[in-house]
Amino acid sequence: MSTAVVAGTHDIASQIPDEQRTMIDAPVKDADYSVPALARGLAVLGLFNARTRSLSMQEIAERLNVSTSALYRIVFTLTDMGYLNKHNSQYELGARVISDGFSYLASRDIVDVAMPHLNQLRDRTSLSCHLAVRENTESLYVYRAFAAQRLSVNIPVGTRIACHCTAIGRMLLTGLDQVELAALYQHIRLDDYPAPAPRTQLELQDMIEGDRARGWVLHRSDYSTAIAMAIKDHRGEVTAAINLSGPDAVMDPEGATGKFEALLRECSTKISADLGYVEDR
């Protein structure tokens, strides 16, 4: 019985024209799995950003180089599902996009996001890199990209240091406005800390205001120097800070600080972008 089935199968196959048999036997290409309507819908959503908050149907069609009739059902579906909102003749991103996007961003751990970038920065500079978050008035070190050289600055994960005493901590404080900063330090005895840490509330306010305007902090201590910058999240808020630290012999030569500052800025920009931050231009 099985022989007859096999023979029958061969008989059917022999009746298929050669060109059709070639199509059947050919491997399926990735493009064959593409869903044009889905791709076009995602392209529509991709047109909206911080600089383009609303578009008309005609503007969407022109940017995608398609007719409005080809777009109508796609835009209607996106609007019906909450991915777009319509106000008069203008469309903008709906709450569904925002909630889905925030849920994704919130699920990304800051260490997982920053780790590959900090490891790359360490490899490019042969200097230690650290990631810290703020807990009240302390900076908590949550990741360290260890530089395996004889003279290096390596702060263990889990270390807590007063924010106003370090470069990385000062950048964490730039996420607070003057009222928030004053409230945070209202019961802290700043004069208990040695120089060059600020000794009064006014000195602290002035220092952090300058750090915020500059966008980075350089801090020198005994035989070592650290440069720090802030990391911003999808809300534009300072959520963490990173630093690049090493011995003065490496950090101090003419031009070295500018070079390291540029590399650190590149790294912080990439991490912030991965967290959903879009810089206003």
Same domain, 81 and 216: no
pLDDT for the residue 24: 36
Task: Indicate whether 153 belongs to any domain.
Answer: yes
pLDDT for the residue 106: 54
CATH code of the domain in which 24 resides: 1.10.10.10
Q: Cα–Cα distance between 223 and 225 in angstroms, integer?
A: 7
Q: Which residue range is the domain that position 254 belongs to?
A: 108-274
pLDDT for the residue 104: 57
Would the pTM count as exceeding 0.75? no
CB 130 within 8 Å of CB 141 = yes
Largest CA distance in the chain: 97
Q: Cα–Cα distance between 187 and 189 in angstroms, integer?
A: 7
Quick: pLDDT tens for 224-281: 788 999 999 988 999 999 999 887 777 766 677 888 999 999 999 999 999 888 876 5
Task: Indicate whether 280 belongs to any domain.
Answer: no
Task: Indicate whether 281 belongs to any domain.
Answer: no
pLDDT for the residue 245: 86
Q: Cα–Cα distance between 246 and 124 in angstroms, integer?
A: 13
pLDDT for the residue 32: 65
DSSP-assigned letters across all residues of 79-100: HHTTSEEEETTEEEE-HHHHHH
User: Reduced to 3 states, what is the DSSP secondary structure of residue 51?
Assistant: coil
From 77, 100, 123, the end of a domain falls on: 100
- Distance of alpha carbon 242 from the chain centroid: 13
CATH code of the domain in which 182 resides: 3.30.450.40
Same domain, 113 and 242: yes
Task: Indicate whether 198 belongs to any domain.
Answer: yes
Parallel, antiparallel or unpaired: strands 224-232 and 128-135 = unpaired
- The enclosing H or E element of 103 equals helix 95-107
Task: Indicate whether 175 belongs to any domain.
Answer: yes
Q: Cα–Cα distance between 155 and 146 in angstroms, integer?
A: 9
Cα dihedral sign, 128-129-131-136: positive
| DSSP one-letter code for 242 | E
Task: Indicate whether 279 belongs to any domain.
Answer: no
| DSSP one-letter code for 197 | S
Single-letter residue type at 209: E
Q: Cα–Cα distance between 164 and 160 in angstroms, integer?
A: 12
Q: Where are the beta strands (DSSP E) in 41-175?
A: 55-56, 84-87, 90-93, 128-135, 138-145, 160-162
Same domain, 115 and 92: no
pLDDT < 50 regions, the chain:
1-26, 28
Same domain, 245 and 126: yes
Domain count, the chain: 2
Same domain, 47 and 146: no
Same domain, 115 and 18: no
pLDDT for the residue 63: 93
From 68, 100, 132, the end of a domain falls on: 100
95 to 74, 82, 87, 98, 100: CA distances (angstroms): 18, 6, 14, 5, 8
